[in-house]
Amino acid sequence: MSDPTELTALAAAKEIASGRLTSEKLTQALLERIDSRDDAVRAWAHLDPDQVLAEARMRDSERPRSPLHGVPVGVKDILDTHDMPTTHGSPIYPNNHPSNDAACVALLRDAGMVVMGKTVTTEFALRNPGPTRNPHDPTRTPGGSSSGSAAGVGDCQIPLGIGTQTSGSIIRPASFCGVVGYKPTHGRIMRNGMKVLAESLDTIGCMARSVADANAFASVMEASPIQSLSDVGPAPAFAFTRSPCWAEAEAGTRNAMKEAIARVQGAGGTVVEIELPPAFKDALEAQDVIMTYEAWRGLAYERCFHADKMSVALKDAISSGGDHTRQRYDWARNVQATCKATFWQVFQRFGAVLTPAAPGEAPKNLAFTGSPNFNRLWTVLGVPCVSVPGLKGPAGMPVGVQCVGAAGRAHETLAHAAWLERVLAE
């Protein structure tokens, strides 16, 4: 067997089910990897080796409960865990010990998975970064806000990690760290037990080493049967959009998109460039209005009673939300609804849309998690998105390609992403 830390989640589960590997041995190997790399990567907000090994031994004593039985997973530190602290990346909650698990965490435990620990999040999943660094270059950001989950998977410290996205907090760090990032359709994974920032945008998803792993893991958190990814045929049809932010695309992203399109066409697929409808010109502004309006109110307790423990970056990020009127918020929600209805028409001709996952390679700036602008449009639409790795920028750092689908067609989106994954790996 190869190094167990390098196994995909499904491959590891298969080895465990066959008896060639145990959950305890896999967990021990991952703990040793973390021990050797934690000073450089710093992906963990909470980790108790004795506790996680005891949980792995329990899984080994049982019959497999699911196709991911015995596989360890990192949980973003804005999701409740009954046996670990949940700090939300904030000094306001240094000793917060919930009495129960978030719904998605309870479901993965019920499926026989092992909670490895809590992964670092930016403060309340917004802009103020934590200590995590990019596993490919510790002078660069891992992205945010799901920084610990992306870096942990990218560094082979865990095969799977839970992420959340309000602007670009799954897709961007996945691109920067060279892993698969999957943001499902908004609301597909229940958010009970999550510290919600913006009710109309927040989406639970995951980081993984393969699209198949992401599909299986998300299915567990949805409490749905794990379906094999369907065959999209020899000539899948993709649209390509530069999106309103193309001027921000750096050389790494421009070259990656050009290379991805060439490979898709070389493999028999079709790619047609499209312009987004005029309604989309207001979508980014609408996303910002919705996010800040809801976050300013959603963080009312922290803002009103613990402002001295909130970072300046967080206060600045949500301050405009207090100035937005209800009429302004309603305008933004109407733009959101119009764009959702208009975007559906794209999928009468195409199976998925290709677009940048991030402006370029991870910035060399640990105080900045990178711009989410290439993600905000798709988040406000609530549609499924997958960051597919396989390409690199001028500095040799990962650059992902974003595969976007239609709301309610998550499985089809994942199938197209899996096809793209194979093409980019060739």
The contacts of residue 309 (CB under 8 Å, 6+ apart) are 90, 91, 92, 302
pTM: 0.98
Q: Residue 1's pLDDT is what? A: 60
Q: How many CB atoms lie within 10 A of CB 197?
A: 23
3-state secondary structure 312-352: HHHHHHHHHHHCCCHHHHHHHHHHHHHHHHHHHHHHHCCCE
Whether 145 sits among the annotated catalytic residues: the reply is yes
Answer positive or negative: Cα dihedral of 411, 413, 415, 417. negative
Structure-block tokens of residue 97: 């010990």
| Amino acid, single-letter form, for residue 171 | I
Q: Which of 23, 147, 169, 210 is catalytic?
A: 169
| Spatial CA neighbour of 215 closest among 240, 196, 188, 238 | 188
The structure tokens 């949500």 sit at 318
* pLDDT tens column, 93-109: 999 999 999 999 999 99
Q: How many CB atoms lie within 10 A of CB 30?
A: 25
Q: Residue 165's pLDDT is what? A: 98
Q: Residue 112's pLDDT is what? A: 98
Phi then psi for residue 48, to 5 deg, are: -125, 95
The Cα 250–Cα 340 span in angstroms is 28
Q: What is the mean pLDDT of residues 2-27?
A: 97
The Cα 337–Cα 406 span in angstroms is 14
DSSP symbols for 218-265: HHHHHT---PPPPP--SS-EEEE---TTGGG--HHHHHHHHHHHHHHH
Alpha carbon of residue 243 to chain centroid: 20
The Cα 226–Cα 111 span in angstroms is 11
Structure-block tokens of residue 258: 């050009």
Phi then psi for residue 44, to 5 deg, are: -110, 130
* pLDDT tens column, 127-147: 899 999 999 999 999 999 999
Structure-block tokens of residue 268: 């028999």
- What percentage of the chain carries pLDDT values higher than 90? 97
- What percentage of the chain carries pLDDT values higher than 70? 100
Q: Which of 145, 167, 175, 210 is catalytic?
A: 145
DSSP symbols for 264-302: HHHTT-EEEE-PPPGGGGGHHHHHHHHHHHHHHHHTHHH
Q: Residue 279's pLDDT is what? A: 87
Q: What is the mean pLDDT of residues 13-37?
A: 98
Q: What is the DSSP letter of 363?
A: P
The Cα 192–Cα 265 span in angstroms is 42
Structure-block tokens of residue 175: 């691109």
The Cα 289–Cα 311 span in angstroms is 21
Structure-block tokens of residue 394: 């001028």
The Cα 143–Cα 323 span in angstroms is 28
Burial 295-316 (b: 16+ CB within 10 A, else e): bbbbbeebbeeeeeebbeebee
Torsion of CA 39, 42, 47, 52, to 10 degrees: -90
* pLDDT tens column, 210-238: 999 999 999 999 999 999 998 999 999 99
Q: Which of 23, 66, 76, 243 is catalytic?
A: 76
Q: Residue 2's pLDDT is what? A: 79
Domain positions in the chain are 1-426
The structure tokens 């359709």 sit at 185
- The Cα-based distances of 347 to 341, 343, 351, 385, 412 in angstroms read 11, 8, 6, 14, 11
Q: What is the DSSP letter of 107?
A: H
Compute the radius of gyration of the chain from its Cα atoms: 20
The contacts of residue 73 (CB under 8 Å, 6+ apart) are 108, 113, 114, 115, 116, 158, 159, 160, 161, 162, 217
Asked, as a colleague might, if the bond just before 243 is cis with ω within 30 of 0, I would say: no
Q: Under CATH, to which class is 1-426 assigned?
A: alpha beta
Query: What's the chain's average pLDDT?
Result: 97
Q: Is residue 426 a contact partner of residue 405, using CB atoms and an 8 Å limit?
A: no
* pLDDT tens column, 231-273: 999 999 999 999 899 999 999 999 999 999 999 999 999 999 9
